[in-house]
Every structure is written in structure tokens, then in C-alpha cells.
Chains A and B, each alone.
Chain A
Amino acid sequence: MLAWVLHRIGGVAMVVLVGMHALASFSMQQFGSDLGTAINTVYESPYFQVFVVFFVLFHAINGLRIIVLDVWPKLLEYQREITWLQWLIFVPIYGLTVFILIQRTLSGE
């Protein structure tokens, strides 16, 4: 249930956030728009990227789990183990990302 909720919220969030980022970059590129630059400054900030990376990474790994279970329904028997495996893959990659984001923010890059 948690995975399902996060998958939905993250999916909608990505359409909105990445869509806004694409439109902002487009208006920056074509018209030198100040609003576009402002939106992208917020989008690129570590406080925002922490959420974007969470949504993208979770959606990707959870989607892969869904595909694997759709292709091999027999694996549904090991649903619990597969969910644990999913978090086991997610946590180190996301943890490393957050670590780098914090490190770079503190060093003022």
C-alpha cells in the first residue's frame, strides 16, 4: 500500500516538476525569461532535488518490481522478500545521493 501511494504521488509529482523544469528551460533558452530562471533556480536547489531524486528513484525501482511480478506471477509468493529487496536497493542509492547533496550544500558549491 505504501509503495502504491508513493508510486502515484511520485508519478504525478514528476509530471508536474519535470514538466515545469522543461517549460522553464524552454523559456530561458528562447526568451531569456526571468520567471524561467527563477523556477530553475528553485528546481536545482538541494532542498528540492532531495524530493525529485526520491520520486524518480522510487518510481523507477518500484516500477521494475511491478514489471518483474507481472512477467513472473509465480514470484508473487515472495512478495514480502521482493519488497525488502526493493528497499535494500533504494536506500543505499538514495542515501548516497542525499549524502552528496548535503556535502555539496555545506561546502557551498
Chain B
Amino acid sequence: MHTRGIPQPGWSFEYIMWIFTRISGIAMLILGGLGLAGALLMGARTQMDMPTLVRWTFFPNPNHVINSNIPDVAQGWASAFWQIMQMLLAAFGISHGFNGVRVIIEDYIGNTFWRPLMRGAIFLLWLFFMIVAVYVILAS
């Protein structure tokens, strides 16, 4: 086992993904904060319990707040704005997560003939989850 160093700056795949990991990490923290603030602005304090608020913070999906005292989820909670926030969160999360899996796998298998096969498999999984996520967001 070894820890990775910082890759050489430039237009290499490793460096771009290294930067992306950090940017998407910060972006997900900001999106979480936005979800939390938005929920409180929309009256979460009196309309939902804390677990429901946390579920909304992690992923602002109307199905996440269905078990609450919100009179009408369609007003405010199920809107185009939150759909875009969900898409951003899903895209950043799925890409960040599968890139992380790729990094871990490549730390252990090294640069053998398995690497392109693993990259292909991870790319297909990434694509599959992106499609599922977009479908779920648009259907809810």
C-alpha cells in the first residue's frame, strides 16, 4: 500500500481527475449547505423532523420529504430549481465516487492489462448510474 502523491500539473487525465475530486468535493459541501438553508427557508423547522431535514440536505428530492408535515410538496419542494440541484449533486457524487473507486483499484492492480478493462467497467457503471439518477430526478 502506498499513498499517492500530487500528480504533475498539466492536461493529463490523472491531474484533471485530481482537481475534479477536490472541486466536486467542495461543490457537494456547498450543495448540501444550500439544501439545508433552502429547506429551513421553506419552513422545515415547523414542518419536518430532523432525519427528514438531513435526508433533504443529502439529496433534495421530494420523495425524501414525503414523511413530513409539509402541506403540499409540489409547492416549492418539487421544483425545477431543486431538480437542477439534484442533477448537480448526482453528477458530482457519481463521478467523484466512481473516480475514487478507479483510483483505489489502480493503486492495487497497477498498470497491467487489467487497467483498461477496469476503466471500461467503471465507465459503464458510471454511465448506468448517471442514467438512473437523471431518470429518478425527472420522474419525481
Q: Does B29 contact A (CB under 8 A)?
A: yes
Contact A104 B51 (CB under 8 A): yes
Q: Does A15 contact B (CB under 8 A)?
A: yes
Q: Roughly how many angstroms separate A23 CA and B50 CA in the complex, as a whole number?
A: 24
Interface of chain A, main secondary structure: helix
Q: Roughly how many angstroms separate A50 CA and B68 CA in the complex, as a whole number?
A: 22
Contact A8 B104 (CB under 8 A): yes
Q: Does B42 contact A (CB under 8 A)?
A: no
Given A23-B132, A25-B63, A60 and B29 touching (CB < 8 A)?
A: yes
Contacts of A29 in B (CB 8 A): 63, 136, 139-140
> Nearest Cβ distance between residue B3 and chain A, in whole angstroms?
6
Question: What band does the interface of chain A fall in when counting residues whose beta carbon is under 8 Å from B?
Answer: 20 to 34
Contacts of B98 in A (CB 8 A): 15
Specify which of A26, A56, A66, A67 is in contact with B58 (CB 8 Å cutoff): A56
Q: For chain B residues 8-29, which have a beta carbon within 8 Å of chain A?
A: 22, 25-26, 28-29
Interface string of A62-81 (1 = CB under 8 A from B): 01101100100000000000
> Nearest Cβ distance between residue B40 and chain A, in whole angstroms?
17
Q: Does B70 contact A (CB under 8 A)?
A: no
> Nearest Cβ distance between residue B12 and chain A, in whole angstroms?
17
> Nearest Cβ distance between residue B47 and chain A, in whole angstroms?
17
Contact B3 A22 (CB under 8 A): no
Q: Does B76 contact A (CB under 8 A)?
A: no
Extra contacts, 14 of them, besides A11-B100, A15-B101, A60-B29 (Cβ < 8 A), are: A4-B3, A15-B98, A22-B132, A22-B136, A25-B136, A29-B140, A30-B139, A56-B58, A63-B25, A64-B26, A64-B29, A67-B22, A67-B26, A100-B50
B residues apposed to A, CB below 8 Å: 3, 6, 22, 25-26, 28-29, 50-51, 58, 63, 93, 97-98, 100-101, 104, 129, 132-133, 135-136, 139-140
A residues apposed to B, CB below 8 Å: 4, 8, 11-12, 14-15, 18-19, 22-23, 25-26, 29-30, 56, 60, 63-64, 66-67, 70, 100, 104
